[in-house]
Amino acid sequence: MGSAAAGRIWKGTQKASEHPLLDTPVAICSYISENTAPRLPALAVAAGSHVYIYRNLRPYYKFVLPAENVNTEEQEIWQKVMEGEMVMGDAVAQLTRLQDAGVVLQTRSLQLMNIGDPEAKMAFVEHWQGQPLVATTVITCMDTIKQAIDEPDAVSCLVIGTESGRVLILNPAGTAPVKNIWVGITPAMIAIQGELDVGYRITVAGRDGKLYHIRNGELQQTIIQLEAQPVGLVRLVKHVAVGCMNDVIHAYQPNGTKSWSIYLPCHILAMQRMEVTGQRMTKALLVALSNGEVRVYNEKLLVSVHTVNFPVTALWFGRYGREDNTLLTITKTGMLDIKMLPRTANLEIGALGGGPPPEQEIPLAVPKKTRLYVEQTQREREQAADMHRTFQRDLAKLRLTTARAFVKVLTDGQGAAAFTTSTNLSLSLSVAGLGPRFRLTLLLRNEGARPLLDVPVALRADPSLYALAKAQFTIPLLVPGLQYTYEVAVTAVSPEAGSDAVTVLLLAPAGSHSSAPLLQATLKMPISEPEDL
């Protein structure tokens, strides 16, 4: 389908014909619609609220979705407004009341309610004057169902899901619905099993992330709640496989019990049924993944993997030309890839083998215990008491050393980061630049529970070496838990004279009874580049 809403037919690599469409297509199906020979397939293209049916490359019939029921009260309101029996304000109020009561209003009513200007409201009503309020809906998905017998060239019917939450089954000619099933939620994908006259099941993946089942025209009570939004729905022989956004494919039996799950390494891009005809009649599952892999699963057994270089957007498996089993792959780049299944292909045995992963066979590289280790253990066993005593003595000494160093950190502020215990402040300094102009960055954090107000900051450096842009400033507020960044420009006055340290002092706020600084940190400045270099 082209982006300019046109259907293009290709024969080989040549474009055979092009059919302009009125609307962006949402689904396309080919099916046999007549029982007369030769059985030429018809092409159904769903766009907007119509299904266009083509035969022999010519438009043949247009099916229009039947209008939905409109709430009678809403219809009356519109009638009255158009005939001038009701003032605009009342009409809007009535519509609002209806909406509050839970009635799903039509687009026209919602548009009217959204218009603010009274004149524009009148003009809007005038625009629709004389046209009755109808509920239109659009098609969201489409598939086919065989009518009586399950054969490749048997007559089938179209099955359509609509935005209004219905599933319609049309007659083979596509002129009128033969079944109209109310699901209640917009179907996003449908999967069909069985024949219309014999017995069938339709599985509907709704927009709400649930699976609904329709059996012979009746909506079943079993509703399957998925753990993530579905991205693909495929009917298999006994199961319905649903791929979800959390990279899992679940397979459900018709009665709603889950049979198996496949956990995939990355996102699912597309899923499709693979119905192999020929000697082996296999129904397998095709999955395109975001890492470029296209996998084939027979039940839950992975039977084949191949890689496509670009993300796959769509897959189709079926008859192409004279070849029965062909896989068409469309990538996001617009590439169409055609692969044919070899007649000797075996889809019964796993490609990547089941069973334990190969890593299980490789022993872990555990280094051997050396003789040295044994000797040392021996020594440990013999002199355990001595070793313990020495260790405890050393530990006590180390604790003392550490505690001293820690106290020094708390009191002296010799390093570029400092903390206090009393006010729970932390300050860390860093310097950027090559010189002679540096930027000193102060990172301040109040880790206490109470905010601090008006904290004076003083910077100290050798004036013969460094010129500070500001030697002191006041921080108005330090809220707990936030990181504050302050920058001070520092200029090296004479780069040749060497480097020194800059000390930053956080003083106690005014009014406190102590004059000792809260915090002090020192940063050793790097050697400055000369000015003229």
Partner 1 sequence: MAALQQQQPTLNPVWLAQSRLRRRKFDECIEVCTNILDKNPYDQAVWYLKTRALTLKNWIDDLEIEEEGVADVLMDEHQVAQVPRPGTSLSRPLTSSGGSGAPSQAVRPMTGSGRPLTGFARPATSSRPTTSANGRVGTASLQQALKGSKPGTARPVTTSGRFVRLGTASLASEPGGPFIAVDRLDLRKYAARPLLARVLCDYLIYTEHNMKRALELCALATQVSEYQDWWWKSRLGKCYYQLGLLRDAERQFKSALGQGQSATSAGGAALGLGPGANGLNGGAVMISCVLELCKIYLRMDQPNTALEQYTSALAAHPGDSSLLLGIARVYDALREAEKAVSFYKNVLFHDASNVEAIACLAAHHFYTDQPEIALRYYRRLLQMGVTNAELWNNLGLCCFYASQYDMCLGCFDRALTLADDNALPDIWYNIGQTAVGIGDLALAYQAFKIAISLNPNHAEALNNLGVLEYRKGNDDSAAALFRSGQREGSHVFEVFFNGALLAYKAGDFQVSFELVNQALEAYPEHTESHELLKQLKAHFTML
The footprint of partner 1 (CB under 8 A) covers: 209, 225-229, 244-247, 365-367, 370, 372-373, 376-377, 379-380, 383, 386-388, 390-391, 394-395, 397-399, 401-403, 405-406, 409, 414-419, 428-435, 443, 445, 447, 481, 483, 523-526, 529-530, 533
Q: Rounded CA gap, 387 and 256, in Å?
A: 68
User: Measured from the CB atom, is 49 or 222 closer to partner 1?
Assistant: 222
Q: Which is nearer to partner 1, 229 or 422 (CB)?
A: 229
CA 311 to chain centroid: 16
In angstroms, give the least distance from the CB of 93 to partner 1. Answer: 37
- Nearer to partner 1 by Cβ, of 131 and 392: the residue is 392
- Peptide bond connecting 530 to the previous residue in cis, omega within 30 degrees of 0: no
DSSP structural state of residue 495: G
**Residue 233 near residue 205, CB atoms below 8 Å:** yes
Closest CA to 466 of 439, 486, 494, 447: 494
Of 326 and 499, the one with the shorter C-beta distance to partner 1 is: 499
Q: How far is the CB of 309 from partner 1 (least distance, A)?
A: 16
Gap between the Cα atoms of 47 and 25, Å rounded: 4
371 class by beta-carbon count within 10 Å (0-12 exposed, 13-18 middle, 19+ buried)? exposed
Hey, what are 25's tokens?
Answer: 């297509």
Q: Please state the closest distance from residue 12 (CB atom) to partner 1, in A.
A: 38
For partner 1, which is the closer residue by CB, 28 or 417?
Answer: 417
Q: List the structure tokens of 187.
A: 């179907």
Tokens of 164: 């209004």
Shortest reach from residue 204's CB to partner 1, in Å:
17
Q: Which is nearer to partner 1, 196 or 490 (CB)?
A: 490
Half-sphere exposure of 474 (CA within 13 A, CB side): 8
Cβ of residue 239: shortest distance to partner 1, in angstroms?
21
Give 31 or 419: the residue with its C-beta nearer to partner 1: 419
Nearer to partner 1, 186 or 282 (CB): 186
Closest contact distance (angstroms) between CB of 456 and partner 1 is: 22
- Max Cα distance, the chain (Å): 109
Pairwise CA distance, residues 393 & 391, whole Å: 5
Residue 496 Cβ vs partner 1, minimum distance, rounded to whole Å: 9
Those residues whose C-beta lies under 8 Å from the C-beta of residue 528, and which sit 6 or more positions away, are 434, 435, 436, 438, 492, 495, 499
At its nearest, how many Å lie between partner 1 and the CB of residue 143? Answer: 24
Q: How far is CA 122 from CA 70, 98, 117, in A?
A: 22, 21, 9
For residue 265, the minimal CB distance to partner 1 (Å) is: 11
Report the nearest approach of partner 1 to the CB of residue 461 (Å). 14
User: Do 289 and 267 contact (CB within 8 A), yes or no?
Assistant: yes
The residue (of 260 and 406) whose beta carbon lies closer to partner 1 is 406
Here the tokens at position 441 are 């960055």
Contact indicator for 313, 329 with CB cutoff of 8 Å: no
- Rounded CA-CA distance 343/29 in Å is 27
Residue among 97 and 397 whose Cβ is closer to partner 1: 397
Select 401 or 464, whichever has its Cβ closest to partner 1.
401
The answer to whether 103 touches 94, Cβ cutoff 8 Å, is no
Do residues 438 and 491 lie in contact, with contact meaning Cβ atoms separated by under 8 Å?
yes
Distance of closest approach, residue 231 Cβ to partner 1, in angstroms: 10
The C-alpha atoms of residue 454 and residue 263 are separated, in whole angstroms, by: 58
Cα–Cα–Cα angle for 54, 194, 251, rounded to 5 degrees? 110
